[in-house]
C-alpha cells in the first residue's frame, strides 16, 4: 500500500510542478524599455546569421520582436527600397541601379578551393575551376597535376556556401540563368564542412570548396585562386577573388530600435564573437 501511495504522490507533485513551471513563462517582464517590431528581409546566406543575432538581441530586449525572412538578396534589396523591410540583407555588392541605399558591411565571407595535401597542383585559375566543376576538365594532368581523374566534392543543394561558389565561379549562362553544379557528375554530395573536409582529406584525387576560415581544421590543402593565397588577409585586402560581402541595408538613416539593432550587429562584442565563431571575416 505504501509504495503505491508514494508513487501517486510523486506523480502528482511532478504534475503540479510542471503546471507551475508552465505558468512561470507567462509572467510579464517589467524591465523592458523598448517595444516594437523589426522586419529583416533578404539573402539566404546572410539570413541564418542574422536570425542568430536577432535571437541574441531579443534575449536582451524582450519587448522587441525581429522577423528574419530569407528570400534572396535581390528581393531583400527591393523590399528595403519599397519600405516593406526595415533592414535588407545582401550577400553581394549592390548594382548601380539598386543604389542608393545605406550600406553597412556586416562581414566578409571567403571560399577556399581545397585538395588532398599530396596533390601537386597548387594553383588554379577561375576558368580552370569552372571547367572542372562543369565536367569539361576531368583529369588532373590537364591542370598540371598527376594523370588521375578529378573527383568532385560538393555541398548539398540548399547550402549557402555552394550558392556562393556557383555565383562566384560558375556565373550565369547566356540567358542570364545561374549555372548550377550537376550533382550526377560529382563523386560525393556532403552536407557539412566537416564531412567534406574529412572526405577530401581521404581522397588523393579530390577537389572541394569550403569556408576559408575553417580550412586549418582539416587535413586538406587550400590552393591559390588566380595565383593568390587563400588567407583572411588577402580577403580583407581584396586580392583574393573568391569572396563576397554580407551587407545590411536601410532605406533612410536608421533611428530608434532599428538603429539599436544595427549597432548591436555591427559593433557589439557579442555579435563580433558570434560571427568570428562562424569563421566569417570582420574587417
Whether 195 and 91 have beta carbons less than 8 Å apart is answered as no
Residue among 68 and 87 whose Cβ is closer to another protein: 68
- Please report whether residue 193 would count as binding another protein according to CB under 8 A: no
Q: Is 199 in the site for another protein (CB under 8 A)?
A: yes
> According to the binding rule CB under 8 A, does residue 198 interact with another protein?
yes
- Core vs surface per residue 115-151: b (16+ CB within 10 A) or e: bbeebebeebebebbbbbbeeebeebeebebeeeebb
d(CA 236, CA 213): 12
CA 231 – CA 112 distance, rounded (Å): 9
Angle between helices 47-60 and 269-277 (to 10 degrees): 140
- Is residue 206 close enough to count as binding another protein by CB under 8 A? yes
1 binds another protein (CB under 8 A): yes
91 binds another protein (CB under 8 A): no
Q: How many residues bind another protein (CB under 8 A)?
A: 35
Q: What is d(CA 152, CA 106) in angstroms, rounded to the nearest whole number? A: 32
Does 44 contact another protein by CB under 8 A? yes
Residue 178 as a binder of another protein (CB under 8 A): the answer is yes
C-alpha cell at 166: 556557383
The reply to whether 2 sits near another protein by the rule CB under 8 A is: no
Specify the stretch interacting with another protein by CB under 8 A; choose among 58-66, 183-191, 265-273, 274-282.
183-191
Q: Does position 243 bind another protein by CB under 8 A?
A: no
Q: Site for another protein (CB under 8 A): which residue of 68, 107, 113, 187?
A: 187
Q: Please identify which residue in 34, 93, 127, 183 interacts with another protein, judged by CB under 8 A.
A: 183
Of residues 70 through 89, those in contact with another protein by CB under 8 A are 70-71
- CA contacts within 13 A on the Cβ side of 183: 10
**Of 76 and 163, which has the nearer Cβ to another protein?**
163
CB 101 within 8 A of CB 81: yes
146 near another protein, judged by CB under 8 A:
no
Instruction: Check residue 143 for interaction with another protein (CB under 8 A).
Output: no
Give the HSE-up count for residue 125: Cα atoms under 13 Å, Cβ half-sphere.
7
Rounded to whole angstroms, how far apart are CA atoms 46 and 249?
Answer: 12
Residues in the chain, how many?
Answer: 283
Q: Does 159 interact with another protein (rule: CB under 8 A)?
A: yes
Residues in touch with another protein (CB under 8 A): 1, 4-5, 7-8, 11, 44, 48, 70-71, 151, 156-160, 163, 177-178, 180, 183-184, 186-191, 195, 198-199, 202-203, 205-206
Amino acid at each position: 500500500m505504501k509504495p503505491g501511495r508514494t508513487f501517486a504522490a510523486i506523480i502528482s507533485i511532478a504534475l503540479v510542478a510542471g503546471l507551475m513551471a508552465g505558468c512561470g513563462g507567462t509572467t510579464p517582464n517589467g524591465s523592458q524599455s523598448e517595444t516594437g517590431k523589426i522586419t529583416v528581409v533578404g539573402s539566404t546566406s546572410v539570413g541564418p546569421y542574422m536570425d542568430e543575432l536577432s535571437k541574441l538581441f531579443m534575449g536582451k530586449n524582450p519587448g522587441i520582436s525581429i522577423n528574419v525572412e530569407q528570400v534572396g538578396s535581390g528581393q531583400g534589396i527591393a523590399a528595403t527600397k519599397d519600405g516593406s523591410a526595415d533592414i535588407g540583407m545582401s550577400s553581394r555588392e549592390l548594382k548601380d541601379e539598386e543604389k542608393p541605399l545605406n550600406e553597412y558591411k556586416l562581414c566578409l565571407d571567403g571560399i577556399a578551393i581545397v585538395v588532398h595535401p599530396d596533390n601537386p597542383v597548387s594553383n588554379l585559375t577561375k576558368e580552370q575551376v569552372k571547367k572542372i566543376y562543369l565536367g569539361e576538365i576531368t583529369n588532373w594532368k590537364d591542370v598540371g597535376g598527376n594523370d588521375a581523374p578529378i573527383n568532385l566534392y560538393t555541398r548539398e543543394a540548399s547550402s549557402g556556401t555552394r550558392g556562393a561558389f556557383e555565383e562566384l565561379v560558375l556565373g550565369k549562362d547566356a540567358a542570364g540563368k545561374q549555372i548550377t553544379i550537376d550533382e550526377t557528375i560529382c563523386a560525393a554530395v556532403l552536407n557539412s564542412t566537416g564531412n567534406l573536409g574529412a572526405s577530401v582529406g581521404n581522397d588523393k584525387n579530390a577537389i572541394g570548396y569550403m569556408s576559408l576560415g575553417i580550412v586549418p581544421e582539416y587535413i586538406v590543402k587550400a590552393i591559390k585562386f588566380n595565383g593568390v593565397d587563400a588567407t583572411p588577409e588577402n580577403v580583407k585586402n581584396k586580392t583574393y577573388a573568391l569572396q563576397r560581402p554580407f551587407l545590411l541595408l536601410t532605406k533612410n538613416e536608421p533611428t530608434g530600435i532599428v538603429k539599436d539593432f544595427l549597432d548591436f550587429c555591427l559593433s557589439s562584442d557579442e555579435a563580433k564573437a558570434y560571427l568570428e565563431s562562424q569563421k566569417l571575416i570582420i574587417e
